[in-house]
Copies of this chain bind each other. A is one copy, B any other.
C-alpha cells in the first residue's frame, strides 16, 4: 500500500517519509515521554486522529501515537507480510441455524486489517466468531463483504445492490436471516429501501452497526451483533429492520422497523428510535427474543421477490422560514423526477413555494410533503396553506418520516412516472410505513425522567 493511500494526515505522512517508513513495516518508535513502542505500522482506520500512527504491538494490541509526540523512528524490518495473530475458524455444527452476514462498511467493520492491506477491513466469519465466541454454540455464520464505504456515501444504486445480494443469499444459502453490517449514519434510509424492494422475505433482513468501533473495549458491536443473530433465528417476521442498543448500558437491544427508524443522536449507543411506531421487539439477554409489536409481516414461504430499483433523480428538501422558491425551481429545471419537501407542522411551506410546487407538478415532477416535526402526521386539510398545496398537486406523506418518504418516492418513481399512479402508490401501505391511525405511544415524554417531579 502506498503511503498516500494509507489514510494518514499530512503531519504523519511527513514523519513517515522522513524516516523512510512504509505501511506494514516493523518499526520502533521513540516517544517524547521516553516510551519506546515496537510493532507493525498499520494503515490509518477511518476513525480517529488522522495524524496518530497506529502500531500493532506483538501482544496483539493496537496503539496510537500522535506524530507530534514521536521523537525518533527506526525501521526494523520492511513489509511484514504475515498476520501477527491468526484468526481461527472454530468447528461449527452444520445443524446450527445459519445466519449470513453481508458487510457494507461503517464503524462496525472499522478495524485495521493488517493481513490483506485493505484500508477498510471486511467482515469474515472468523472475525465474528473471534469477537463473540459465544456464537459458536448459537449459529452457523457465513459472511462476505459486498463493499466497504462510509454510509454517507450510500446511494440508491447501492441500496439496489444490497437488495439483490439479499435475494441471492436467501436463495443460495437459505439462512434463517441476513445481517447487513452498515454504517449507522444512513442505516435507517437503507433499511427502509430494502423494506420497499423486497417482498415475501423468508426471514428478517437485520441492519446492524456500532457507534464505537469494534476494537475498542467500549464497543457496542458485540451486543448488537448478538441481538442481530438472535433476531435472525427467533423473529416471526420477514421484514427489513435495524437492531441497535435500546439504552446506554449494555443491557438490551431493540428491533426497529426499517421504514420507521431514525438515528436521533450523534454518538449515544441508543441513537436509533422508532418514530410513530413501537419497536418490533426487545432482546434483553442473549437468545431471549420478546415481541413488542403485534403488527408485522410474517416470514413467507411464497418465494422472495425483488421489486426494487430506485430512481436517483429525487431530492429531499427541508423548508425553513425565509426559503424562496429558487431551490424547487432549480430541481425542476435540472430534470429531477421527484421532490420530498420537509414542511413545517401539519405540512406547510411559505406562500411563494405554492406556485413553485404547482409548476413542478405541471411539469410532471412528483412533490411529496412531509413534516420536519418527525412525530405525528401531515394533515393538509386543516389550514389554508395545506389546502393550497393539495390543490397545487402535492402528495401528503401522511405519518411517514421525511427520510422514509424520500426512499419510498425513489422506489415509486423507478416503477412509474405517471403522477396519478405515483400518488396512489405513495398513499398505499407497502411495508407498514403508513398507518391509518397514528401511533401516539412512541412520542417520548417531553419532561426528562427525574426532572421537575
Q: Identify the A interface with B (CB < 8 A).
A: 7, 9, 44, 46-50, 150-156, 159, 184-186, 189-190, 246-247, 254, 263-268, 270-273, 278-279, 282, 290, 292, 312, 314-323, 326-327, 330-331, 334, 342-351, 371-379, 381-385, 387, 402-403, 406, 410, 440-452
Contacts and interface: CB of A to CB of B under 8 A. Distances in A.
A374 B185 contact: no
A92 B441 CA distance: 44
Chain B CB within 10 A, most for which of A322, A378, A450? A322
B451 A278 contact: yes
28 contacts: A9-B387, A152-B350, A156-B322, A185-B344, A186-B321, A190-B321, A247-B446, A254-B447, A254-B452, A263-B372, A263-B373, A265-B376, A266-B346, A270-B443, A270-B446, A271-B375, A271-B376, A272-B446, A273-B446, A279-B446, A279-B452, A290-B452, A312-B322, A320-B406, A326-B330, A326-B334, A442-B448, A444-B444
A451 B292 CA distance: 7
Contact of A447 (B48, B247, B331): B247
Contacts of A317: 317-318
Contacts of A444: 444-445, 448
Contacts of A385: 150, 152
Nearest to A375: B265
Nearest to A370: B266
Nearest 5 A-B pairs (CB), nearest first? A266-B376, A444-B444, A185-B344, A185-B345, A318-B318
A446 B246 contact: yes
A152 B267 contact: no
Contacts of A440: 268
B441 A451 contact: yes
Contacts of A185: 344-345, 348
Given A247-B447, A254-B447, A348 B266 contact: no
A319 B402 CA distance: 12
A406 B372 CA distance: 15
Given A321-B152, A381-B49, A449 B443 contact: no
A316 B342 CA distance: 11
A273 B442 CA distance: 15
A447 B442 CA distance: 8
A221 to B, nearest CB: 16
A136 to B, nearest CB: 29
A346 to B, nearest CB: 5
Given A153-B350, A155-B350, 17 more contacts: A46-B383, A47-B382, A150-B383, A151-B344, A152-B319, A184-B345, A185-B344, A254-B447, A263-B372, A265-B373, A265-B443, A266-B378, A268-B440, A272-B446, A318-B402, A320-B403, A444-B444
B316 A318 contact: yes
B345 A266 contact: yes
